[in-house]
């Protein structure tokens, strides 16, 4: 890549493909599974996370590219790859990644687990006594749930559900009706655990397990009496799971999404996984049935669907093989039992999760629900979990007669069913429930409380970079701001009015919001720093986010780098920008932090002294900037600004153990301490802010 090419910002070689970058992120997650410095069961968990991520990649990303190809779309993105070219590249990259997953499982983790007394026993390793117990378990717990389908004209191939374990069975012989199809399909029951603990009297220790797939395989002949089973092979189909709802054509979005949800199980097939020992002719039979190509076939060296081994983490009680228990800390003004309204009146409160507890946010909503002085609560709900304490508090508030408004995003991917349920519960309790704006997902995280104080109404606001989900708040790094700043509260009020009513976009005083002002402000701030650099003034941009993919923002960053702006980016996942190219992006560095907690907070800083500082719900992606409702809020308090700068920018940029650096060629290299002292930003923050 020459310097001459670098000046042409339309050159496709300057942009990394988003899907391939996402696969590289998953490769970094997988690398954590092979990292011997992490506890063993945590490494197993990282492996299963990488497997689950691959499922979602095929369900959503690869399936979308396949749809484009099948529709005859040949338009290329900024990276210049057509859908046909991209499918080929995905196949190569995904194939090598999945092979590495099984190598890590077979050659690294399994031997280490065995050495620690944790065994997932293969059929070949069962003792006669274990085999007898497995057969008895099969006949008692599994056999009654199985429905073998022998394929013939009156028994067509069953409708195989998305990601469900199945077996294709080849056999000889005639049955009672003189049928001789030779092929049957058996679906593993969904209600039986995939990982089964052996009883103590049949095990060599407390942590011996067998897989349900092995239990069925070992006893498959029981399903076909009098027939000779010649082969039994696991397979699993991944299907397109993106819901399609024509929002402008439906009368009730909730009913439309509810109707569409069951189809997720039966979308178009995009990937076929089979056991490594599956014969070519059997794999071809399955590919043809599911209308898949050779590049969609993945033969794996081990159990199909490794992410089912996630259960091992909870089934094995070995604290020595897990991260030490972590106790979140509390802000000194948001201790349990504190009057949060009084505390917020004394100044803004910033919480950095999960190092600091999410419970003050819960208590903020609970207190509002119980407080007779509170007259109204308004909130956005994107992902809350199936059993949400936030939703319970809003229901209590509605039942107490308060004006409760919930903007529920029904299309939060894979949370649609939970969100339909909570929306129904809220409506039943008397809350006003709306589903945002047609054509735009409501991804903003904000809660507005209106309270009567001394004869007048006063407003309090919570703004966050993450969801109102107590589970992810313990695992994701995010920021929460509690404030009663009048301008911010007024802005939040106008945003809720916009989401629930009609009218022109409000002019906000402090907040930025997509799809109206956020993109323009980001570009303006980047260009402002570029102009400072051209004038010989100090200039700097630092930003932390989950993904950087918007072409307009990337071009602006390239131009700012050319002008001499020092740009430091912390991008956890997808990054389509190429840093370090002479004459173009030599002033840009990109790093990714991966560790115990998932880095989720978004922070933007502009100026040599972090003069302008924002936290946001939005990444720098086109969907966040143009097709979602997002909020971006300034950190106004000087002490809190200093905290955000240190905790979200300075520390991650100094990490030399859990950080990865992006090279111009698109490869990620893990940072090493070398002769320096090891610096681990998550450990530092846990020690500083934890309880």
SS3 464: strand
DSSP 678: P
SS3 160: coil
**208: domain range?**
12-321
Does 307 lie in the same domain as 182? Answer: yes
Domain end among 289, 321, 353:
321
Domain end among 502, 529, 557:
502
- Distance between CA 207 and CA 332 in Å, rounded? 43
- Distance between CA 204 and CA 118 in Å, rounded? 10
Q: Can you give the pLDDT at residue 4?
A: 36
Q: Which residue, chain included where needed, has tokens 């047609």?
A: 438
Dihedral angle at the C-alpha atoms of 84, 85, 86, 90, nearest 10 degrees? Answer: 100
Does 522 lie in the same domain as 498? Answer: no
CA 361 from chain centre, in angstroms, equals 22
Q: Is 276 part of any domain? A: yes
First to last CA, the chain: 50
Does 566 lie in the same domain as 462? Answer: no
Does 535 lie in the same domain as 425? Answer: no
User: Which among 547, 546, 543 has a CA at the least distance from the CA of 557?
Assistant: 543
- Distance between CA 237 and CA 273 in Å, rounded? 6
Which residues have CB under 8 Å from 564's CB, separation 6+? 533, 534, 539, 587
- Distance between CA 246 and CA 396 in Å, rounded? 34
Q: Is 111 part of any domain? A: yes
Of the residues 353, 443, 469, 513, which is catalytic?
443
Does pTM top 0.85 for this prediction? yes
Q: Is 88 part of any domain? A: yes
The C-alpha angle 377, 379, 381, rounded to 5 degrees, equals 145
Residues 464 and 477 sit within 8 Å (Cβ to Cβ): no
Does 280 lie in the same domain as 149? Answer: yes
The C-alpha angle 604, 610, 614, rounded to 5 degrees, equals 30
Q: With residue 458 as reference, give the H or E element that holds it.
A: strand 456-464
Does 107 lie in the same domain as 169? Answer: yes
Residues 195 and 302 sit within 8 Å (Cβ to Cβ): no
Q: Is 639 part of any domain? A: yes
Task: Evaluate the omega torsion of the peptide bond into residue 538 and state whether it is cis, within 30 degrees of 0.
Answer: no
Which residues have CB under 8 Å from 631's CB, separation 6+? 444, 445, 446, 463, 495, 511, 512, 513, 616, 617, 618
User: Which among 456, 539, 449 has a CA at the least distance from the CA of 493?
Assistant: 449
Q: Is 527 part of any domain? A: yes
DSSP 266: G
Does 147 lie in the same domain as 291? Answer: yes
Q: Is 2 part of any domain? A: no
Q: Mean pLDDT of successive 10-residue segments in the chain (691 residues)?
A: 58 96 98 96 98 95 91 89 95 97 97 97 96 97 94 81 95 71 90 95 94 97 91 96 59 62 78 96 96 95 93 96 96 95 97 98 97 97 90 97 94 79 93 88 96 95 96 96 98 95 90 97 98 98 98 98 98 98 97 97 97 98 96 97 98 97 96 92 96 85
Phi-psi sector, 12: left (phi>0), alpha (psi -120 to 50), beta: alpha
Q: Which residue, chain included where needed, has tokens 């100090």?
A: 538
- Distance between CA 678 and CA 691 in Å, rounded? 23
- Distance between CA 632 and CA 64 in Å, rounded? 29
Does 216 lie in the same domain as 140? Answer: yes
CATH number of 399's domain: 3.30.870.10
The C-alpha angle 369, 384, 496, rounded to 5 degrees, equals 60
Q: With residue 393 as reference, give the H or E element that holds it.
A: helix 389-399
Domain end among 476, 502, 528:
502
- Per DSSP bridges, beta strands 269-275 and 228-239 are antiparallel
Asked about 469 being catalytic, the answer comes back as no
Q: Is 137 part of any domain? A: yes
Reading the block at residue 602, the tokens are: 């978004």
Q: Which residue, chain included where needed, has tokens 């309204």?
A: 341
Does 520 lie in the same domain as 469? Answer: no
Residues 222 and 236 sit within 8 Å (Cβ to Cβ): no
Does 305 lie in the same domain as 185? Answer: yes
Does 195 lie in the same domain as 87? Answer: yes
- Distance between CA 527 and CA 637 in Å, rounded? 26
Cβ atoms within 10 Å of 308's Cβ, excluding its own: 19
- Distance between CA 364 and CA 482 in Å, rounded? 9
CATH number of 233's domain: 3.30.1840.10
Residues 273 and 306 sit within 8 Å (Cβ to Cβ): no
Residues 395 and 458 sit within 8 Å (Cβ to Cβ): no
Reading the block at residue 368, the tokens are: 């509002």
The C-alpha angle 342, 344, 347, rounded to 5 degrees, equals 120
Q: Can you give the pLDDT at residue 196?
A: 97
User: Which among 297, 170, 191, 326 has a CA at the least distance from the CA of 238?
Assistant: 297
Q: Is 249 part of any domain? A: yes
Q: What share of the chain is helix, strand, coil (3-state, %, to 5)?
A: 40, 20, 35
- Distance between CA 365 and CA 369 in Å, rounded? 6
Cβ atoms within 10 Å of 191's Cβ, excluding its own: 6
- Distance between CA 266 and CA 159 in Å, rounded? 8
Residues 15 and 576 sit within 8 Å (Cβ to Cβ): yes
Residue 235, beta-bridge partner list: 166, 274
DSSP 62: I
Q: Which residue, chain included where needed, has tokens 């009297």?
A: 201
- Distance between CA 90 and CA 443 in Å, rounded? 29
Reading the block at residue 416, the tokens are: 């649609």
Number of structural domains in the chain: 3
Does 531 lie in the same domain as 489? Answer: no
């Amino acid at each position: 890549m020459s310097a001459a090419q670098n000046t042409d910002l339309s050159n496709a070689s300057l942009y990394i493909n988003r899907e391939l970058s996402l696969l590289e992120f998953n490769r970094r997650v997988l690398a954590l599974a092979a990292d011997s410095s992490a506890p063993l069961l945590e490494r197993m968990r990282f492996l299963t996370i990488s497997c689950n991520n691959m499922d979602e990649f095929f369900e959503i990303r690869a399936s979308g590219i396949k749809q484009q190809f099948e529709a005859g779309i040949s338009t290329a993105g900024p990276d210049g790859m057509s859908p046909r070219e991209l499918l080929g590249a995905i196949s190569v990259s995904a194939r090598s990644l999945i092979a590495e997953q099984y190598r890590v499982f077979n050659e690294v983790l399994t031997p280490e687990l065995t050495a620690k007394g944790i065994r997932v026993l293969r059929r070949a390793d069962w003792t006669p006594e274990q085999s007898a117990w497995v057969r008895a378990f099969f006949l008692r717990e599994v056999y009654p749930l199985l429905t073998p389908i022998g394929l013939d004209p009156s028994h067509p191939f069953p409708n195989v559900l998305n990601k469900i374990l199945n077996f294709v069975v080849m056999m000889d012989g005639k049955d009672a009706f003189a049928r001789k199809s030779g092929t049957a399909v058996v679906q593993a029951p969904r209600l039986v655990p995939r990982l089964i603990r052996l009883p103590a009297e049949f095990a060599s220790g407390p942590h011996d397990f067998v897989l349900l797939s092995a239990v069925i395989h070992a006893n498959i002949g029981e399903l076909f009496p009098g027939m000779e089973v010649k082969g039994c092979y696991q397979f699993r189909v991944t299907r397109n799971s993106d819901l399609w709802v024509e929002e402008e054509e439906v009368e009730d979005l909730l009913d439309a999404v509810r109707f569409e949800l069951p189809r997720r199980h039966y979308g178009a097939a995009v990937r076929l996984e089979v056991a490594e020992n599956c014969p070519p002719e059997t794999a071809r039979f399955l590919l043809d049935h599911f209308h898949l190509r050779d590049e969609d076939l993945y033969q794996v060296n081990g159990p199909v669907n490794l992410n089912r081994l996630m259960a091992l983490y909870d089934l094995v009680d070995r604290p020595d093989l897990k991260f030490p228990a972590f106790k979140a800390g509390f802000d000194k003004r948001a201790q349990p039992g504190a009057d949060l309204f009084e505390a917020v009146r004394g100044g803004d409160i910033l919480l950095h999760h999960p190092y600091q507890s999410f419970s003050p946010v819960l208590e903020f909503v609970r207190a509002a629900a119980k407080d007779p002085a509170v007259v109204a609560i308004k909130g956005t709900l994107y992902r809350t979990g199936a059993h949400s304490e936030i939703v319970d508090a809003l229901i209590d508030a509605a039942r107490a007669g308060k004006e409760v408004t919930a903007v529920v995003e029904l299309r939060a991917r894979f949370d649609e069913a939970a969100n339909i349920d909570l929306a129904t519960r809220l409506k039943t309790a008397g809350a006003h429930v709306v589903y945002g704006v047609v054509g735009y997902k409501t991804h903003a995280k904000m809660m507005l409380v209106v309270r009567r104080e001394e004869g007048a109404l006063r407003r309090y606001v919570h703004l966050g970079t993450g969801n109102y989900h107590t589970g992810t708040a313990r695992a994701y790094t995010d920021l929460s701001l509690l404030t009663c700043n009048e301008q911010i509260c007024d802005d939040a009020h106008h945003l809720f009015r916009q989401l629930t009513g009609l009218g022109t976009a409000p002019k906000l005083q402090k907040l930025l919001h997509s799809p109206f002002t956020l993109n323009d402000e980001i570009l303006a701030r980047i260009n402002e720093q570029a102009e400072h650099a051209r004038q010989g003034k100090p200039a700097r941009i630092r930003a932390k986010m989950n993904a950087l993919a918007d072409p307009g923002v990337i071009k602006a960053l390239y131009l700012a780098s050319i002008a001499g702006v020092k740009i430091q980016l912390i991008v956890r996942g997808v990054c389509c920008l190429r840093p370090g190219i002479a004459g173009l992006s030599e002033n840009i560095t990109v790093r990714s932090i991966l560790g115990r907690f998932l880095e989720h907070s978004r922070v933007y800083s502009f100026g040599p002294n972090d003069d302008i500082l924002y936290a946001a719900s939005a990444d720098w992606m086109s969907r966040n900037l143009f097709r979602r409702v997002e909020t971006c809020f300034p950190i106004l308090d000087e002490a809190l600004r200093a905290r955000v700068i240190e905790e979200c920018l300075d520390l991650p940029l100094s990490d030399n153990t859990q950080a990865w650096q992006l090279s111009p060629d698109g490869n990620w290299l893990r940072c090493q301490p070398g002769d320096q002292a090891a610096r681990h930003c998550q450990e530092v923050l846990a020690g500083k802010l934890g309880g």
